């Protein structure tokens, strides 16, 4: 072997070695690093459930550590205090989002990015401002007739189906529809009529769940390892999901525009923007708001209502359910909670129940990633601008330094001596936290008041039909961005048929079931 060839081989090996351990951003001095494999970094070790593994690593490397995932270097925050420091105290620097190959480069090429996944720029700022105006507390109060209708529709169908299914009912589809129809009505002035078996409803839910996988931090290795992008299988699935989503989004927006031209449109967020001569949003930004409303409507509310019902059906949940029912009756002894839950939140135990559901079933265990736009510090270490951060929201919500006995489901923790600070990280934190949190809270509060007033919720007779009550193990798709609850059943026994029929008649009017 000639000297020149030997030197060339050594040089190639050296370059491969450097590349195998290199990342797009340099190693951060002063932040512990989790070791990883060549080229892949920590991807193999993280497995399907990033939240649980990252929590295990934090016990060895500290609350904040860095890990190489393919070509990307990620800083994980795993405790309540570290999230508070980075996401809230230093929020002005942690305001942008990274771009990923699968979601941003394939799925989002036609409709654009959701507000929540957009990198920070003037356009994102304008979209968030419009969304914040449409979703602030006063605006949300005007949407209560929609929540009135959609919660009543789901409860009426539960009543009907309970009479036919003696072994119990899987509540998933009922509350996916509740959240989706609320979002569609608010954004397009349009709701999907019919039962939970409606094909349009099922198509939107199915596609949005698929796309949630493509937004996940753990599902798409091609986001981290560029070489994998040449294998077309995952790309083809992403393209198919994009086309299916394009089909119904275009139909919804075209229908609204046609209604506006005909003068028969109903008041809604996108309609108000389209008709406002002062609106400064372009067509792409309007599409982004539409996209955000549809996808976000299925991110948090359904999973929390569904798993909340699952817990209320359990033996310990029966005790909580009785306390909640008595608390409602104490505030509303004249049986007017059904109406009043739309006007006010005056049952502290239900407010606490909602917070505990959001804390316990953190339906986005690893929050949407952030990218810093300025240098940040942590324990004396300087983290340079352009660094990608992952919030382990599940670990932070279960941090014993913030929450006494965090593994226990206890609404009482939010009564009297409630923990100080942000009650949970279900909506993220800081300057890019979910703009729809007020709406989601009202949807959850009204749903739980009405469900508890309407039913005694009990567990299924068959053990195999009962829910898994662990916040991570209950997820049917561990690699998804959001929790997709595994199927289970519970039983709904009407408390007072006469009262419930009166409430439902008033709320439903002549709506099509």
Describe the crossing of helices 437-454 and 172-188 by its angle, rounded to 10 degrees: 140
Q: Are 171 and 492 in contact (CB under 8 A)?
A: no
Domains of the chain: 3-508 (1.10.630.10)
189: left (phi over 0), alpha (psi -120 to 50) or beta: left
Name the residue with tokens 């798409």.
220
* Rounded Cα–Cα distance for residues 399 and 440 (Å): 24
The token pair at 324 is: 């909640």
For residue range 367-423, what is the model confidence (pLDDT) as tens digits? 999 999 999 999 999 999 999 999 999 999 999 999 999 999 999 999 987 778 899
- Rounding to the nearest 10 degrees, give the CA dihedral for residues 393, 397, 399, 401: 120
The residue ranges of the chain whose pLDDT is under 50 are: none
- Residue 262 pLDDT: 94
* Rounded Cα–Cα distance for residues 65 and 245 (Å): 37
* Rounded Cα–Cα distance for residues 413 and 352 (Å): 8
For residue range 65-76, what is the model confidence (pLDDT) as tens digits? 999 999 999 999
The token pair at 295 is: 């996808």
- Residue 450 pLDDT: 98
Candidates 141, 29, 15; CA nearest to 439 is: 141
- Residue 491 pLDDT: 96
DSSP code for 464: G
- Residue 480 pLDDT: 84
- Residue 214 pLDDT: 81
> For 510, what's the count of Cα atoms within 13 Å in the CB-facing half-sphere?
0
- Residue 20 pLDDT: 61
Residues 6+ away with beta carbon under 8 Å from 256? 188, 189, 190, 265, 268, 270, 271, 274
Buried b (16+ CB within 10 A) or exposed e, 125-142: ebbbebbeebbeeeebee
DSSP helix/strand/coil, 412:
helix
- Residue 7 pLDDT: 57
Using CB atoms within 10 Å of the CB of residue 217, give its burial: 0 to 12 exposed, 13 to 18 middle, 19+ buried.
Answer: buried
Q: Is residue 434 part of an annotated ligand binding site?
A: yes
* Rounded Cα–Cα distance for residues 498 and 476 (Å): 38
How far is Cα of residue 1 from the mean position of the Cα atoms in its chain? 60
Determine the Cα angle at 179 with ends 174 and 182, to 5°: 120
Going from the C-alpha of 398 to that of each of 307, 409, 461, 471, 504, the distances in angstroms are: 17, 11, 31, 10, 38
Candidates 176, 451, 115; CA nearest to 300 is: 176
Going from the C-alpha of 422 to that of each of 43, 57, 63, 83, 305, the distances in angstroms are: 31, 24, 18, 10, 21
């Amino acid at each position: 072997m000639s000297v020149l060839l030997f030197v060339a081989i050594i040089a190639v090996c050296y370059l491969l070695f450097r590349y195998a351990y290199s990342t797009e951003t340099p190693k951060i001095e002063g932040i512990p690093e989790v070791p990883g494999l060549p080229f892949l970094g920590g991807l193999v070790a993280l497995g399907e459930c990033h939240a649980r593994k990252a929590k295990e690593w934090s016990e060895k490397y500290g609350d904040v550590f860095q890990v190489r995932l393919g070509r990307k270097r990620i800083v994980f925050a795993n405790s309540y205090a570290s999230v508070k420091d980075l996401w809230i105290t230093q929020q002005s620097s942690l305001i942008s989002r990274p771009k990923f190959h699968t979601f941003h480069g394939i799925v989002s090429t036609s409709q654009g990015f959701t507000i929540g996944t957009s990198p920070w720029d003037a356009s994102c700022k304008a979209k968030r401002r419009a969304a914040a105006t449409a979703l602030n507390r006063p605006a949300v109060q005007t949407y209560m007739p929609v929540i009135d209708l959609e919660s009543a529709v789901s409860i009426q169908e539960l009543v009907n189906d309970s009479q036919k299914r003696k072994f119990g009912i899987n509540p998933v589809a009922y509350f996916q529809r509740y959240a989706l129809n609320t979002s569609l009505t608010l954004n397009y002035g349009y709701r999907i009529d019919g039962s939970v078996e409606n094909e349009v409803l099922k198509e939107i839910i199915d596609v949005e769940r698929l796309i949630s996988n493509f937004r996940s931090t753990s599902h798409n290795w091609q986001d981290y390892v560029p070489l994998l992008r040449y294998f077309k299988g995952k790309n083809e699935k992403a393209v198919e999901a994009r086309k299916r989503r394009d089909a119904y989004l275009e139909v919804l927006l075209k229908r609204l525009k046609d209604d506006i031209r005909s003068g028969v449109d109903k008041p809604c967020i996108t309609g108000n923007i389209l008709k406002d001569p002062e609106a400064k949003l372009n067509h792409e930004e309007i599409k982004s708001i539409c996209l955000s409303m549809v996808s976000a409507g299925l991110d948090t509310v359904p999973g929390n209502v569904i798993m909340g019902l699952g817990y209320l059906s359990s033996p310990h949940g029966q005790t909580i359910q009785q306390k909640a029912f008595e608390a409602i009756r104490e505030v509303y002894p004249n049986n007017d909670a059904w109406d009043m839950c739309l006007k006010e939140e005056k049952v502290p135990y239900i407010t606490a129940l909602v917070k505990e559901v959001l804390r316990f079933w953190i339906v986005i265990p690893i929050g949407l990633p952030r990218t810093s736009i300025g240098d940040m510090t942590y324990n004396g270490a300087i983290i340079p601008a352009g660094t990608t951060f992952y919030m382990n929201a599940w670990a932070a919500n279960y941090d014993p330094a913030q929450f006494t006995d965090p593994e226990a489901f206890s609404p009482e923790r939010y009564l009297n001596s409630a923990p100080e600070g942000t009650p949970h990280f279900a909506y993220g934190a800081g300057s890019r936290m979910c703009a729809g949190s007020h709406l989601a809270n009202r949807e959850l509060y009204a749903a739980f008041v009405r469900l508890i007033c309407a039913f005694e919720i009990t567990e299924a007779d068959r053990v195999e039909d009962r829910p898994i009550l662990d916040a991570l193990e209950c997820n049917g798709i561990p690699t998804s961005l959001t929790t997709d609850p595994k199927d289970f059943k519970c039983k709904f026994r009407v408390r007072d048929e006469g009262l419930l029929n009166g409430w439902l008649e008033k709320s439903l009017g002549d709506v099509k079931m």
